[in-house]
């Protein structure tokens, strides 16, 4: 059995990817320090797949623990999700972000290099493109100065991996996610934002649930059709499947270069107002919202050219925005009940 280490495997994207890996017959070992999730997710993964993945509570900033882990577990590949991801928080705590997101990456790569483990998948972000000059965004679009330490940690992560691939023959793929949303159709796993959500969809669902008074729409004077900003919202299960496709590419040695990057989105841009309308249609209830000023650091529009991923990974998205929003809403309602 091929054994895959999933760091951050109890987080939002990590947990959905663990489910897809187990559905495809991989053996999964999860490392998570529970800094932004709970052990309940582990039980819910088992409830969905019937398989309890091996779970080890390790902080990847602790190099000794990482070394001990690799001494004790034979691993065939790694999908590395574990990282801090709050853009705003990264501005006030840059060192925490660099320490966590970069040290853990370096320690992992050291272990892989020393042990000759060759398959590595990295969570990157479309944030590396900033406001791209051309839409849809291809992988050839230039990397722009980041708006936050979070963004720089993703850019630096890609560079660290690329340099390592070049030097030691590691094979790696960085997936540049657009905007992941939604929850597993079982509604047993989903996004668990701590405190006030920063991202659009959890803010919308919490507003609809009455936890937040109203949604603030950040800006309606962008140069877009309805004046609100455009993003590419991808269902988390479609995103999880991109990871299994990328892993298969590496395991089957179908990669064309040591280090490859792929945009992972739907290819379709939706404005904030379009998302609100779609949400209202799905839930059949009006959403309380007001227009406020732009949020610092937001770009006008970002959506993916997915042709590289479609062709090379033999992968494409299957789930509509409406279905994704519906699952996010069902997930929100399930939280309320529990």
List residues with catalytic annotation.
150
- State the Cα–Cα distance between residues 289 and 292, nearest whole angstrom: 10
Stretch 220-259: interaction string toward ligand UD1, x if CB under 6 A: ---------x-x----------------------------
Name the helix (H) or strand (E) containing 30: strand 27-31
* Pair 148, 132: CB distance under 8 Å: no
> Among 12, 55, 152, 203, which residue sits at the site for ligand UD1 (rule: CB under 6 A)?
203
Residues from 263 through 282 that contact ligand UD1 (CB under 6 A): 272
* 70 or 129: CB nearest ligand UD1: 129
> Among 2, 110, 216, 323, which residue sits at the site for ligand UD1 (rule: CB under 6 A)?
216
Pairing of strands 230-231, 270-271: antiparallel
89 interacts with ligand UD1 by CB under 6 A = no
Q: Which of 268, 272, 270 is nearest to 221 (CA)?
A: 272
Long-range contacts of 283-289 (CB under 8 A, 24+ apart): 283/208, 283/325, 283/326, 283/329, 285/208, 287/204, 287/207, 287/208, 287/215, 288/207, 288/213, 288/214, 288/215, 289/207, 289/214, 289/215, 289/216, 289/217
> Among 13, 161, 174, 217, which residue sits at the site for ligand UD1 (rule: CB under 6 A)?
217
Task: Count helices and strands (H / E) in the chain.
Answer: 12, 13
Residues from 127 through 156 that contact ligand UD1 (CB under 6 A): 127, 147
Binding segment for ligand UD1 (CB under 6 A), chosen from 66-74, 76-84, 98-106, 199-207, is: 199-207
Task: Tell me phi and psi for residue 276, to 5 degrees.
Answer: -60, -45
Find the shortest distance in angstroms from Cβ 65 to ligand UD1. 27
Residues from 37 through 66 that contact ligand UD1 (CB under 6 A): none
For ligand UD1 (CB under 6 A), the number of binding residues is 20
> Among 28, 41, 200, 325, which residue sits at the site for ligand UD1 (rule: CB under 6 A)?
200
Binding segment for ligand UD1 (CB under 6 A), chosen from 183-191, 259-267, 277-285, 290-298, is: 290-298
* Pair 172, 299: CB distance under 8 Å: no
- State the Cα–Cα distance between residues 48 and 69, nearest whole angstrom: 27
Residues that bind ligand UD1 (CB under 6 A): 85, 87, 125, 127, 147, 179, 198-200, 203, 215-218, 229, 231, 272, 295, 297-298
């Amino acid at each position: 059995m091929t054994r895959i280490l999933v760091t951050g495997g109890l987080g939002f994207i990590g947990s959905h990817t663990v489910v897809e890996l187990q559905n495809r017959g991989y053996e999964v070992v999860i490392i998570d320090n529970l800094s932004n999730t709970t052990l309940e997710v582990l039980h819910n993964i088992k409830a969905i797949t019937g398989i309890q993945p091996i779970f080890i509570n390790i902080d990847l900033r602790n190099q000794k623990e990482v070394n001990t882990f690799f001494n004790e577990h034979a691993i065939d590949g790694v999908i590395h999700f574990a990282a801090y991801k709050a853009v705003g928080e990264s501005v006030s705590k840059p060192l925490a972000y660099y320490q966590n997101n970069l040290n853990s990456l370096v320690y992992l790569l050291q272990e892989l290099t020393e042990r000759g483990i060759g398959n590595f998948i990295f969570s990157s972000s479309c944030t590396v493109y900033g406001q791209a000059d051309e839409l849809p965004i291809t992988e050839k679009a230039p990397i722009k100065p980041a708006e936050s330490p979070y963004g720089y940690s993703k850019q630096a992560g890609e560079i660290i991996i690329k340099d390592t691939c070049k030097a030691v023959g590691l094979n790696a793929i960085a997936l540049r996610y657009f905007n992941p949303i939604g929850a597993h159709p079982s509604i047993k796993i989903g996004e668990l934002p701590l405190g006030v959500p920063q991202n659009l969809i959890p803010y919308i669902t919490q507003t609809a649930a009455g936890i937040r008074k109203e949604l603030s729409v950040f800006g309606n004077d962008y140069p877009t059709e309805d004046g609100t900003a455009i993003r590419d919202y991808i269902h988390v299960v479609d995103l999880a499947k991109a990871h299994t496709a990328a892993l298969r590419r590496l395991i089957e040695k179908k990669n064309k270069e040591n280090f490859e990057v792929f945009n992972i989105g739907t290819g379709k841009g939706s404005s904030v107002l379009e998302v609100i309308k779609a949400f209202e249609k799905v839930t059949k209830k009006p959403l309380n919202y007001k227009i406020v000023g732009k949020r610092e650091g937001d770009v006008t529009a970002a959506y993916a050219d997915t042709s590289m991923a479609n062709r090379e990974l033999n992968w494409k998205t299957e789930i509509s925005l409406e279905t994704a929003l519906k699952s996010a809403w069902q997930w929100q309602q399930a939280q309320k009940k529990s």
